[in-house]
Amino acid sequence: MSPASYVVGAYEHPLRKAPDKSVAALHFEVAAGALQDAGLGFGDVDGYFCAADAPGGVLSMVDYLNLRVRHLDSTETGGSSYPIHVAHAAHAIAAGHCNVALITLAGRPRSERLASGTAVRPGNPQQPDYPWELPFSPVTLGLYALCAQRHMHQFGTTSEDLAWIRVAASTHAQHNPNAMLRTPVTVADVVGSPMIADPLRRLDCCVISDGGGAIVLAREEIAKSLSRPQVRVKGTGEAHKGASGGEVDLTYTAAARSGPLAFAEAGVTPADIQYASIYDSFTITVLMQLEDLGFCAKGHGGRFVRDGNLIAGTGRLPFNTDGGGLCNNHPGNRGGMTKMIEAVRQLRGEAHPAVQVPNCSLALAQGLGGWLGTRHVSGTLIMERQ
Amino acid sequence: MTSPGLEEDMLRPFPELSAYGEGLRRGEFLIPRCRDCGQAHWHPRPFCPFCHGANITAERALGGGTVYSHTVIRSVDSPYVLAYVTLDEGPSMLTNIVGSDVDAVAIGSRVVAVVEHGETAAACVRFALAPPAPRSPTEDSA
C-alpha cells in the first residue's frame, strides 16, 4: 500500500459503566483521547469515520464534534466496521483525500441494560431475511452456538478446547486495571459454568460493557513529525459471508477471505505475526477465526488453543492481552475497535509488562460484525512497527 | 416461543412473495426453485441467488430434512431448539425443532416440516423429529 498510512493515535475509554454520559459524549471523549495521544488537535482532522453506534451517524457526529472534514465514511458492518474504517482511511490517505482520519466508537449497552446475547434483536422489518429468521427467536448467542455445535461434530472440538480461550483471556485480564473481570479462571471453571446455549456456557460469552475507543490515522509525513512510535498499516482485508441462498456451511467465517487479502497485501504469513487481537464475542468466534486466518489448519483450532497456547509469555500466539471482549470490555457490543487498540499498544511496547510481547513489530487485529450463524462481515488489519 | 410483535404478517413488506404467505395459510410449505438453472434455494426472493434469473417457481416442498446443526436456548423460561435443517431439496434453513424434548435433537436427526398458520403467530415452517420408519407389512403380519 503506497503511500503509507500510520496509526498515530489510539485511545480506549477507561469506563466500563457510564450511566452519566451520553453515547455522543463518549464519542467526544474517545476522539479527544486519541488526538491527544497522537499529539494532534480536532483542527487537524480532515477525515471522519463512524458506524451505526454513533447517534445520528456522520451527519450528527461531525456537527456535534464541529469538525471541518473533506472525507466522510459511515461504513457499517457491525463490530468489524472499525478495522474496515482503517482500511478505507488508508485508501483515502493514499488517494490524497485526507491527511488525518479520526475513527470513533462508543456505546453503553450495560447502562441501558441490554440483554445483548440472549434477547432477539429486532432488525428492520424490510430486511429481506427478517420474515424467514425472526419467527424462530434467533438470539445472538444461539447463532454462535450453532457454529460451535457443528464444529464439535465435524472436527471433534471439545468444550475444554473452547475453555482454554477464556483461560488465556482471563490470565491477561488480571493485569488490566480497567478490565471488568480480572480473576483468572481455569478450564474446570469454564466447563462448570451454566449451559446457556448448547454447547456454549456462561464463561464462553463476552462481557456487556459501556465505553468506547478511537483511532487516528495520518499520512507518512505527519506520522514522522509526531513523537509517538510509528505503526504502519501494512495490509487490510474485508469480506462478507452469509447464508448463501441456502448453501449454509457453519464451519468457517468470512475471515477465511479477509485474512488472505490482508496477508497478501502485507506480504507476510501467519507465522510472521507476533501478536494477534482476535474478536471474541464468544470463545468459538476466536477458534474459528484462528483457523480461517491460517494460524492453524481448518478443524485444528481446538488443539491449537489448548494448553495455554494463546497466553502471553508461554504460548505460541499471544492473543487479546488486554483481556479482550471475554474479560475486559465490549463497548457497544462491538469488538473491532478495542482489538486494534491493544494491537497498537503491543506494537508500541505499551502493553502491560506482564503481557507485552518482546520486540513486537508485526501484529494482526481481527474484527467480525454481525452473526456467525447467519451473516457477518470480517475485517482484518495487519500493522507493523517501523 | 413466539416473541412479542410477531403477530403481524411479516411478509407484508414483500408483496412479490405473497404466494409463500398464501401457501402457509393453506398449510403448504412452498420453496423457491429457479426454472433457469434448476436449483432450489432459501429463503424466497424474486430472483435466483445463484444465476440471478427471475424465473422462480414456488413449489411444494417435500417436507423432509436433516438437522445440520442445533442448539438449545436455555436462557429463557421455556428452552427451545434453534436449528439449521437441510431440506431434502438441498437448501438449509434456520428454524426451530418442536414437539419433542429439547435434548432429543441431534445433528443428522431426520425431521418433518410443521406449517404454522399465521392466525396468532407469524406464519412460518418449523420442524419436528420424524417418526421412526413404519414397519414393513411383512413385520406387521408376523
Q: Which residue of A has its CA nearest to B121?
A: A135
Complex prediction ipTM: 0.95
User: Is the Cβ–Cβ distance between A283 and A163 less than 8 Å?
Assistant: yes
Yes or no: say if A245 and B49 are a contact pair by the CB < 8 Å rule: yes
**Residue linked to cell 450453532:** A146
By the 8 A CB rule, do A137 and A368 touch? no
Per-residue pLDDT of chain A (386 residues), as tens digits, is 467 999 999 999 999 999 999 999 999 999 999 999 999 999 999 999 999 999 999 999 999 999 999 999 999 999 999 999 999 999 999 999 999 999 999 999 999 888 877 777 777 889 999 999 999 999 999 999 999 999 999 999 999 999 999 999 999 999 999 999 999 999 999 999 999 999 999 999 999 999 999 999 999 999 999 999 999 999 999 999 999 999 999 999 999 999 999 999 999 999 999 999 999 999 999 999 999 999 999 999 999 999 999 999 999 999 999 999 999 999 999 999 999 999 999 999 999 999 999 999 999 999 999 999 999 999 999 999 99
- Set of chain A residues whose Cβ sits within 8 Å of the Cβ of B87: 246
**Which grid cell is B2?**
413466539
Indicate yes or no: CB of B71 within 8 angstroms of CB of A145.
yes
Tell me if chain A has a CB within 8 Å of the CB of B1. Answer: yes
Contacts of B111 in chain A (CB under 8 A): none
Nearest-Cα distance to chain A for B139, in Å, is 35
Interface probe with A: pick from B71, B72, B97, B115, most Cβ of A within 10 Å: B71
A267-302: burial string, b at 16+ Cβ within 10 Å, e else:
ebebeebbbbbbbbbbbbbbbbbbbbbbbbeeeebb
pLDDT of residue B132: 81
Is the CB of residue A383 less than 8 Å from the CB of residue A347?
yes
Predicted TM-score (pTM) of this structure: 0.95
Interface of B with A in 9-68 (CB under 8 A): 10-11, 13-14, 40-45, 48-50, 68
Instruction: Identify all chain B residues contacting A150, using CB atoms and an 8 Å cutoff.
Output: 68-69, 107
- B43 closest CB neighbour out of A125, A129, A148: A129
Size of interface A-B (CB pairs under 8 A): 131
Q: Tell me how close the Cα of A153 comes to any Cα of chain B, in angstroms.
A: 8
Determine whether the interchain pair B124/A118 forms a contact, defined as Cβ–Cβ distance below 8 Å. Answer: no
Identify the closest residue of chain B to A122 by CA–CA distance. B5
Out of A125, A146, A244, closest to residue B71 by CB:
A146
Check: CB of residue B100 under 8 Å from CB of residue B114: no
Distance (Å) from the alpha carbon of B33 to chain A's nearest alpha carbon: 11
The answer to whether the beta carbons of residues A289 and A251 sit under 8 Å apart is no
| Chain A closest-CA separation from residue B59 CA (Å) | 16
**Optimal mutation site among A129, A136, A140, interface B, most CBs of chain B within 10 A:** A136
Alpha carbon distance A327, A305 (integer Å): 17
- With a pLDDT cut of 70, the percent of chain A lying above it is 99
Closest CA to A72 of A95, A102, A106, A44: A102
Which residues of chain B are within 8 Å of residue A198 when distances are taken between CB atoms? 70-72, 74
Residue B105 pLDDT class (50, 70, 90 cuts): very high
B96 touches chain A (CB under 8 A): yes
